[in-house]
Amino acid sequence: MTISTPSNSPPTDAASDPAIDLAVQDVVPESVDLAEEFESSGVREVMEELDKTLIGLAPVKQRIRETAALLLVDRARKRFGLAHSVPTLHMSFTGNPGTGKTTVALRMADLLHRLGYVRKGHLVTVTRDDLVGQYIGHTAPKTKDMIKKAMGGVLFIDEAYYLYRPENERDYGQEAIEILLQAMENDRDDLVVILAGYADRMDRFFNSNPGFRSRVAHHIDFPDYSDAELQQISELMVTEQNYEFSDKALTAMAEYINLRRKQSHFANARSIRNAIDRMRLRQANRLLQANAGPVGRKDLITLEEGDVRASRVFTGGLDSDAKPILPSAED
Q: Mean pLDDT, to the nearest integer, of 107-132?
A: 93
306 by Cβ neighbours in 10 Å (0-12 / 13-18 / 19+) ranks as: middle
Least confident range of 49-53, 157-161, 200-204, 288-292: 288-292
User: Residue 221, Cβ neighbours under 10 Å: how many?
Assistant: 14
The CATH code of the domain at 2-222 is: 3.40.50.300
Confidence of residue 171 (pLDDT cuts 50, 70, 90): confident
Please give the span between the terminal C-alpha atoms of the chain, in angstroms, as a whole number: 26
List of residues 6+ apart from 31 with CB closer than 8 A = none
Give domain limits for the chain: 2-222, 227-315
Could you write out the DSSP letters of every residue in 118-164?
SSS--EEEE-HHHH--SSTTTHHHHHHHHHHHHTTSEEEEETGGGG-
pLDDT in tens, 251-280: 999 999 999 999 999 999 999 999 999 999
2-222 against 227-315: fold identical: no
pLDDT score of 224 more than 80: yes
227-315, CATH topology level: Helicase, Ruva Protein; domain 3 (1.10.8)
Q: 328 vs 68, 92, 270, 331, CA distance in Å?
A: 40, 37, 21, 5
- Nearest CA-CA partner of 303 in 329, 288, 281: 281
DSSP assignments along 88-121, one per residue: P--EEEEE-TTSSHHHHHHHHHHHHHHTTSSSS-
Is the pLDDT at 14 greater than 50, yes or no? Answer: no
3-state secondary structure of 221: strand
Sheet holding 91-95, edge to edge: 2-4, 123-126, 154-158, 192-197, 91-95, 218-222
pLDDT (tens digit per residue) in 91-110: 999 999 999 999 999 999 99
Q: How confident is the model at residue 325 (pLDDT cuts 50, 70, 90)?
A: very low
Quick check: 253 and 314 in contact, CB under 8 A?
no
Q: What proportion of the chain, given as a percentage, has pLDDT over 90?
A: 64
| Reported confidence tier of residue 237, pLDDT bands at 50, 70, 90 | very high
Confirm if 245 and 253 have CB atoms less than 8 A apart.
yes
- Tell whether the model's pLDDT for residue 240 goes beyond 90: yes
- Whether pLDDT at 209 is above 60: yes
Q: From start to end of 184-303, where are the E strands?
A: 192-197, 218-222, 244-245, 302-303
What is the C-alpha separation between 111 and 117, in angstroms, rounded? 9
Distance separating alpha carbons of residues 76 and 122, to the nearest angstrom: 25
Q: Are 194 and 224 in contact (CB under 8 A)?
A: no
Give the residue from 60, 86, 12 showing the smallest Cα distance to 225. Answer: 60
